[in-house]
Amino acid sequence: MKLLLVTAFLCWLTLSLYASPVDTFLVSTTDTKEYHDLTPYIQAVNDPKGVLSISTMRAKDFVGSFKPLNDPGINVKSPVHWLHFYIQNPDTLSHTVYISFTFTDFIEFYIRHENGAGLMKKSGDLVPFHERDVKVGQMVFIDVPVPPQSVIACYARLESSTDISQQSRSLALKSIKLYSEASFDKRFDVTNRIYQALFYGAMLIMLFYNLFIFITLKDSSYLYYVCYTLAVGVFFSSNSGYIFELFLPEYPRTDLYVRFLSTPVLLFFYLLFSRKYLKTANTAPVLNKAITLLLFLFPVVFILMMLGYWTLGRSASIIGAIISFVFILFAAISSVRKGYTPALFFLVANILLLVGGAVYASQRFFAVEQSPITQYSVQIASVLEVVLFSFGLAARINLMQKEITDKTIENERLEKVKERALKSLIEEKNQELEQKVKERTAQIHQQKEEITTQNDYLTQSYKQLEQAQQTIEKQNKKLSLVNVRLEKTVRERTKELKQTNTDLLKANRELDIFIYRTAHDIKGPLARLIGLSQVALLDVQEQQAIEYLNKLNFEANYLNYLLNRLSVIHEITHAEVRFEPIDFQELMISVIGKLHQVSGFDQVQIHISVGAAICIDSDHSILSFILRNLIENAIQFRKPDAAASFITVEVKHQEMLIIIQVTDNGIGISPIDTPTIFDLFSRAAGKHKKAGMGLHMTKLSVEKLKGNISLLPHPSGFTQFQVSLPVKNA
């Protein structure tokens, strides 16, 4: 009785541990299907941080966290997922099943038997070939031994670390399949390898054969054909896992890139070869434009994949492949209708490929019975396609040779016709030429007589010319003597002018020094005279004497003003220019601040317009003097009766120059006085009882800074002076 209770308790415990809300997959020894979809039997849980472990999965309180794969709570963007399912073997013999995984970088597979024993296996797309338990390069397999009459619990940790795997995670979760031991051996046994070897052997033979033809004929069609054949071989060998097994066993990531990138490369060379082979530019011009656009599509798809957009690139490749195949098929039909014989080989080859793909798809969906022919129908169709393409190229070459032969025969016929026509033409031309020779001979005799007459005339003219030449030679001798005398006179005069110029410069310097010293010497007595007149004004009471003293004081002050101006002219002439960076905003503020003491300053409105961040490399004191003189001159010559007097100062940058424009609405300048406006003691200033030295000093200052000043005409009749200064000075 006790033994029966213990047995019942153990059975209940076993059922509680291994019971599942989904069905348990049953391993059948009589199953003939190639594989089974495990998706309905799998439950999953998200592990976005990748921190969960197998011990967590087996915890009793965690069992309720697993959900079916189609549950909305399963996040396909999670980098890690845990899967859980059961496999039951009701048979009395043990079996080994093979579970395939796609687009998964790393897999940890845990097996737990009823007796509590466990087993862990590792694999994945990024695991090197020698570390995998199941040595198949086409896809990742986990071999799972299932004891007889038992149920095993399976846990799988799927991790995606690359863009390819992450973007294909949804497809990976829906593509988990289980192969029985018999179906696995049937698909990946030695016989399969033999069939594949025959396929790749045929492809290599066609590749090297046509490569030899290309080297011999130098026809680009064969080059495109060789590239297409090579792309077909790479596509099938990479997707069958042979490139990974044979060439890249330690570089699984590179193998993944080759598998994905081989598709757009294959389609690119397919279009390139088809367009050249079918001569679509002539036989199907409209489709040729569409095919050309598709040729640009696949390099873009290739670049998208290299940038990490694998899913987008894969979808674009599939859509582009369908469109390309349809366009090429219609182009081939159009070429056949136009009598282009090689296109028939191309059309049959593509139809065979289409039939091979349909047979393979029917076999995959169990619509037809599996056999080596159906299993390798695509490879067989590809080999036949390549062979037919080769035959088509040969027919194309034969057609081209026939066309060349026909053209050669036609050219020979035309050459004979041309030769006969040329002979007839030569005879006709010879007769015409003989007649023309006779006529020309008569003309030559007549011209000879005319030439003799002209020769006599020329002889007489020559004698006259000799006499004239002698006369000219005599005149030339006289002219030579005159020229020598003239050169001597010019040299003497040049020497006198240089001496005169030197004397003038010396006199000018002496006059300048004399004026400066005279002004300096007169300033002392003049200052005393001004002082005495001001003292006398304090003491004298007589009105007439006061008037005389005021006039004397005014004239003395005016004379002092003139002397100061003359001193300034001397200082400007001999001043040493010191160039430094100057900010015009700060300079204008300084100049306006010093003009408050000028008489009439409060009667004018001054508008300043300086461009942003305008700087100049110049002398601060001289530039300040120029601006002050121009503004002060505008204040002095304002209209006394004007409703509003204004002065506008505008500073702007123009190429390598700074342009300063000072405009006022004063009394203006008469056109008669314009030519002498910058002269010392100008006539225009004298009319208004002014010294006439300000603009002259301004011009000297501008020229000192290597600039230029001018009076500009203004549409409103205003007075406008413009100063141009270089921004930089050497």
Q: Which domains does the chain possess?
A: 19-188 (2.60.40.2380), 191-393 (1.20.1070), 493-574 (1.10.287), 577-726 (3.30.565.10)
| pLDDT number for residue 513 | 64
Whether residue 403 has pLDDT greater than 80: no
Whether residue 7 has pLDDT greater than 50: no
Task: State both tokens at 66.
Answer: 């697993």
Amino acid residing at 248: L
Whether residue 2 has pLDDT greater than 50: no
| Confidence bin at 109 (pLDDT 50/70/90) | very high
Residue showing tokens 């120059």: 657
Per-residue pLDDT reduced to its tens digit, 675-684: 777 776 655 5
DSSP, collapsed to helix, strand or coil, labels residue 720 as: strand
| Total Cβ atoms within 10 A of residue 258 | 19
| Confidence bin at 16 (pLDDT 50/70/90) | very low
| pLDDT number for residue 231 | 86
Q: How far is CA 404 from each of CA 282, 398, 401, 410, 437, rounded to the nearest angstrom? A: 18, 10, 5, 10, 46
Which residues are CB-contacts of 391 (< 8 A; sequence separation ≥ 6)? Answer: 345
Which residues are CB-contacts of 250 (< 8 A; sequence separation ≥ 6)? Answer: 128, 129, 130
Q: Is 197 exposed, middle or buried (0-12, 13-18, 19+ CB in 10 A)?
A: exposed
Residues shown for the chain: 730
| pLDDT number for residue 42 | 92
DSSP designation for 213: H
Task: State both tokens at 50.
Answer: 């990748």
What is the helix (H) or strand (E) element at residue 30, kind and residue range? none
Tell how far CA 42 is from the center of its chain: 51
Least confidently predicted of 228-232, 284-288, 319-323, 410-414: 410-414
Under 8 Å between Cβ of 293 and 270: no
Per-residue pLDDT reduced to its tens digit, 347-395: 777 777 666 666 655 555 555 555 555 555 666 666 667 676 666 666 6
Least confidently predicted of 1-15, 561-575, 641-655: 1-15
Between residues 431 and 682, which one has the greater pLDDT?
431
| Confidence bin at 157 (pLDDT 50/70/90) | very high
| pLDDT number for residue 641 | 78
| pLDDT number for residue 375 | 56
DSSP designation for 125: T
The phi and psi torsions of 728 (rounded to 5 degrees) equal -120, 145
**Per-residue pLDDT averaged across 105-122, rounded?**
86
DSSP designation for 347: H
Whether residue 445 has pLDDT greater than 50: yes
| Confidence bin at 12 (pLDDT 50/70/90) | very low
| pLDDT number for residue 265 | 92
Which residues are CB-contacts of 165 (< 8 A; sequence separation ≥ 6)? Answer: 103, 104, 105, 125, 172
- What percent of the chain has a predicted confidence (pLDDT) above 70? 79
Task: State both tokens at 243.
Answer: 């490139």
The phi and psi torsions of 648 (rounded to 5 degrees) equal -115, 125
DSSP designation for 34: S
Question: Which of 443, 346, 454 lies closest to 395 in space, CA to CA?
Answer: 346
Alpha carbons 559 and 522: distance in angstroms, whole number: 10
Which residues are CB-contacts of 31 (< 8 A; sequence separation ≥ 6)? Answer: 180, 183
Q: Which of 170-174, 276-280, 497-501 has the highest mean pLDDT?
A: 170-174
Alpha carbons 127 and 252: distance in angstroms, whole number: 7
| Confidence bin at 268 (pLDDT 50/70/90) | very high
DSSP, collapsed to helix, strand or coil, labels residue 79 as: coil
Q: How far is CA 497 from each of CA 503, 504, 510, rounded to the nearest angstrom? A: 10, 10, 19
Under 8 Å between Cβ of 154 and 74: no
Alpha carbons 672 and 86: distance in angstroms, whole number: 116
Which residues are CB-contacts of 648 (< 8 A; sequence separation ≥ 6)? Answer: 606, 607, 609, 661, 662, 663, 664
**Per-residue pLDDT averaged across 168-175, rounded?**
88
**Per-residue pLDDT averaged across 161-189, rounded?**
86
Per-residue pLDDT reduced to its tens digit, 404-417: 677 777 777 788 88
| pLDDT number for residue 326 | 87
Residue showing tokens 């003691």: 681
Whether residue 499 has pLDDT greater than 60: yes
| Confidence bin at 638 (pLDDT 50/70/90) | confident
Alpha carbons 342 and 394: distance in angstroms, whole number: 8
Whether residue 101 has pLDDT greater than 90: yes
Model pTM score: 0.49
Task: State both tokens at 577.
Answer: 């220019």
